[in-house]
Amino acid sequence: MTYCFILGHNPTLSIAEISQVLKEDFRVVELSTHILIIESQKELPAEKLQQRFGGTIKIGQIIKTSANQDLLAFRADIIDLLKQARLDSAAQSRLDKKIFFGFSLYPLAPHELLNKYHSQIKVLAMETKKALKKISLSSRWVSSKDESLSSVVVQKNKLLTQGAEFCFLVSHNKIYLAKTLSCQQVDEYSHYDFGRPARSMKQGMLPPKLAKIMINLAQAPQTGLILDPFCGAGTILQEAIMMGYRHLIATDIDDQAIARTSANIDWLVDSHHQALGVGASQQKIDFSDFNLKIFPADVRILSQLLPADSVDVIVTEPYLGPVDKNKDSHQIRKIITELSELYLAAFRELKQILKKDGRLVMAFPVYKHGQQLNYLPIIKEIKEYGWQVVSPLPSTLIKSPIIKLTERQSIIYSRPDQQVLREIFIFRR
CATH number, residue 83 = 3.30.2130
What pLDDT, in 10s, does the model give residues 381-427?
999 999 999 999 998 899 899 999 999 999 999 988 788 999 999 99
Q: Rounded distance, CA 228 to CA 315, Å?
A: 5
Q: Rounded distance, CA 428 to CA 399, Å?
A: 23
Q: State the residue range of the domain holding 34.
A: 2-184
The total number of structural domains that make up the chain = 2
Checking if the pLDDT of 271 tops 80, the result is: no
Q: Which of 184, 203, 228 finishes a domain?
A: 184
SS3 call for 134 = helix
Do 219 and 180 sit in the same domain of this protein?
Answer: no
Do 120 and 206 sit in the same domain of this protein?
Answer: no
**For position 389, which CATH number holds?**
3.40.50.150
Do 146 and 252 sit in the same domain of this protein?
Answer: no
Do 281 and 197 sit in the same domain of this protein?
Answer: yes
Do 330 and 402 sit in the same domain of this protein?
Answer: yes
Do 205 and 110 sit in the same domain of this protein?
Answer: no
What is the predicted pLDDT for the residue at 187?
Answer: 77
Across 370-428, the runs of DSSP E, i.e. the strands, are: 372-374, 388-389, 411-413, 420-428
SS3 call for 101 = strand
What pLDDT, in 10s, does the model give residues 42-69?
999 999 999 999 999 999 999 999 998 8
Do 117 and 22 sit in the same domain of this protein?
Answer: yes
Do 29 and 154 sit in the same domain of this protein?
Answer: yes
Do 221 and 363 sit in the same domain of this protein?
Answer: yes
Residues whose CB is less than 8 angstroms from the CB of residue 30 and which lie 6 or more positions away in sequence, other chains included:
36, 37, 108, 169, 171, 176
Q: Rounded distance, CA 125 to CA 123, Å?
A: 5
Angle, CA 210 vertex, CA 315 and CA 177 arms, to 5° = 130
Do 263 and 318 sit in the same domain of this protein?
Answer: yes
Q: Which of 126, 155, 184 finishes a domain?
A: 184
Calculate mean pLDDT across residues 278-285: 51
What is the predicted pLDDT for the residue at 284?
Answer: 61
Q: Which of 168, 184, 200 finishes a domain?
A: 184
Helix and strand element counts for the chain (H, E): 12, 17
Do 312 and 276 sit in the same domain of this protein?
Answer: yes
Calculate mean pLDDT across residues 30-35: 94
Do 226 and 275 sit in the same domain of this protein?
Answer: yes
Has this prediction a pTM greater than 0.75?
A: yes
